[in-house]
Amino acid sequence: MSKHYNVIIIGSGPAGYVCAIRAAQLGQSVAIVECWADDQNKPVFGGTCLNVGCIPSKALLDSSHKFIEAKDQFAAHGIAITPPKIKVADMLARKSDIVSQLTSGVAGLLKHNGVDVIQGRGKLQAQRKVEVAMLDGATLQLEAEHIVLASGSEPMSIPPAPVDNTLIVDSTGALEFTEVPDRLGVIGAGVIGLELGSVWGRLGAQVIMLEALDSFLPSMDQQIAKEAQKIFKKQTLDIRLGARVTGTDIKEGKVEVTYVQGEKTLTEVFDKLIVSVGRQPRTKDLFASDSGITTDERGFVYVNDHCATEAPGVWAIGDIVRGPMLAHKGSEEGVMVAERISGKPMQLNYECIPSIIYTDPEVAAVGKTEQELKAEGVDYKVGTFPFAAIGRALASGNTDGMVKIVADKSTDRILGAHCVGPSAADLMQQMVIAMEFGSTAEDIQLMVFGHPTLSEAVHEAALAVDGHAIHMANRKKR
């Protein structure tokens, strides 16, 4: 006999658990199905983000940042310190404690909101039924008015570098190194590769990044990307573009990597190799062939603007649908679906979803890039402002980078904002709010910004859009 709910959600990552909580708040009877279990067979909530993605990587980034401050930057502040030493085991323990706090917090929130937790692997069947393969081998049948698929994503692999989770690791394995490798190779210079390379590079590893593409961060605004690349080079991240890995070989406990760059075939030997070439939707065995769900050639589930699939009453959110694989994007899709299930016509503005790279300095953006606007034939104007001219940045010793704002030339409406520099993620959130309310560059120009703050760079960049920046010489506008 099947158990019936209003809403069943498969997956408890940021998309799934947020959807479950919001649906329960709106009066729905909700069950969430999760197959991830710890070594005591207790369910693990939070998906990739909380367990092996966003949160643990940011914990390590923060620890490694503090180490490099103590090692290289305290002296400039008049702080004398003996050469610091990193205790990798303690750093990993701190990371694990943070993960545990957050995942147990999600468990408490689900319980508080009356969400039933069903432990096992869920598979969508026809007619909005879910078959759950329990950990003990039994099978449970569930059904609901609405099914939400939120199974998340997993690291992609490439044949030339098979992951063994010993010497060749994916992004998960890179969070668990028990010591700092002398030489670290990273395949892929995207968001995850840059963050993980930064962690171990700060702690003393010689980091070489092999990126198959000829351009650096091609989806970012290219002025910002080039500025970021210059900064990372100063930090001794060796980023080699147009470097396509063709093979790996394990020799005497090390990894020999062969790659092609231009017309040359080259080799490098590493103590560890991180494969960071992107992520793919986790949709294998998620639904039966007669469930009414269809996917594209990469495995992404087809949905409309409101995350409804082609099967009536079935929704899909997060990393398994179109758009960037970002935890905050998935969470808001979860809220939108819960609201729409409950009769509230919420919509999500996909034009105002920020993207962030948590390097030092951070790289963040929202909206259109300059190259996108050129391709679309939009007439636009640009304002940039460097942190080197911001008093607060100079006082803190964080002067690398800039803020860039792009606005429509005729309407003055802000179309995009981009930043590489200190607190870029938080500064760009200001621009998310501005763009959500349809702000113009003039709106930002007329606002009062506190002094001294990093956010003054946003104000000055908005002023620079019209050639009115105060604290730098303005370039003549075209």
The answer to whether 146 and 313 have CB atoms below 8 angstroms apart is yes
Q: pTM (2 decimals)?
A: 0.96
Fold type of domain 3-155+280-348 = FAD/NAD(P)-binding domain (3.50.50)
CATH topology match: 3-155+280-348 vs 168-277: yes
The encoded tokens of residue 14 equal: 């940021």
Beta strands in 138-205 (DSSP E): 139-149, 153-155, 168-169, 183-187
The mean per-residue pLDDT over the stretch 381-394 comes to: 98
User: What are 44-66's pLDDT values in tens digits?
Assistant: 999 999 999 999 999 999 999 99
Query: Position 451: which residue type?
Result: H
Among 204, 185, 294, 290, residue whose Cα is nearest residue 245: 185
What does 157-174 look like in DSSP terms, one character per residue?
Answer: --TTS---SSSEE-TTGG
Predicted confidence at residue 1, as pLDDT, reads: 53
Question: With 90 as the cut, is the pLDDT of residue 478 above it?
Answer: no
Q: How far is 239 from 201, CA to CA, in rounded Å? A: 12
The mean per-residue pLDDT over the stretch 257-282 comes to: 98
| Contacts (Cβ under 8 Å, ≥6 apart) of 62 | none
Q: How far is 128 from 147, CA to CA, in rounded Å? A: 6
Q: How far is 174 from 276, CA to CA, in rounded Å? A: 10
Predicted confidence at residue 145, as pLDDT, reads: 98
Give percent of the chain above pLDDT 70: 99
Give the position of tokens 């449970």.
140
Average pLDDT, the chain: 97
User: What are 438-448's pLDDT values in tens digits?
Assistant: 999 999 999 99
The mean per-residue pLDDT over the stretch 281-296 comes to: 97
Percent helix, strand, coil in the chain (nearest 5)? 35, 30, 40
DSSP 422: T
Give the position of tokens 């995009």.
416
Half-sphere exposure of 197 (CA within 13 A, CB side): 29
| Contacts (Cβ under 8 Å, ≥6 apart) of 97 | none
The encoded tokens of residue 142 equal: 């569930």
What are the residue numbers of the active site?
Answer: 451
Predicted confidence at residue 475, as pLDDT, reads: 79
The mean per-residue pLDDT over the stretch 422-431 comes to: 98
Q: What's CA 234's distance to the chain center, in Å?
A: 24
Question: With 90 as the cut, is the pLDDT of residue 2 above it?
Answer: no
- Report how far apart, in Å, the C-alpha atoms of 140 and of each of 10, 29, 135 are: 14, 18, 11
Q: How far is 195 from 216, CA to CA, in rounded Å? A: 14
Predicted confidence at residue 8, as pLDDT, reads: 98
Fold type of domain 352-465 = Enolase-like; domain 1 (3.30.390)
Question: With 70 as the cut, is the pLDDT of residue 477 above it?
Answer: no
Confidence of residue 191 (pLDDT cuts 50, 70, 90): very high
The mean per-residue pLDDT over the stretch 100-116 comes to: 97
The mean per-residue pLDDT over the stretch 231-259 comes to: 97
Give the position of tokens 């104007």.
381
- Per DSSP, helices labelled H in 69-184 are 88-112
The mean per-residue pLDDT over the stretch 368-382 comes to: 98
CB atoms within 10 A of CB 349: 10
Predicted confidence at residue 221, as pLDDT, reads: 98
Half-sphere exposure of 211 (CA within 13 A, CB side): 21
- What ranges do the domains of the chain cover? 3-155+280-348, 168-277, 352-465
Confidence of residue 144 (pLDDT cuts 50, 70, 90): very high
Q: How far is 109 from 155, CA to CA, in rounded Å? A: 28
The mean per-residue pLDDT over the stretch 321-337 comes to: 98
Q: How far is 78 from 336, CA to CA, in rounded Å? A: 51
The mean per-residue pLDDT over the stretch 183-205 comes to: 98
Question: With 80 as the cut, is the pLDDT of residue 108 above it?
Answer: yes
Note the CATH architecture for domain 168-277: 3-Layer(bba) Sandwich (3.50)
Which residues are paired to 361 by β-bridges? none
Question: With 90 as the cut, is the pLDDT of residue 115 above it?
Answer: yes
The mean per-residue pLDDT over the stretch 344-356 comes to: 96
Predicted confidence at residue 476, as pLDDT, reads: 72
Q: How far is 46 from 350, CA to CA, in rounded Å? A: 23
Predicted confidence at residue 236, as pLDDT, reads: 87
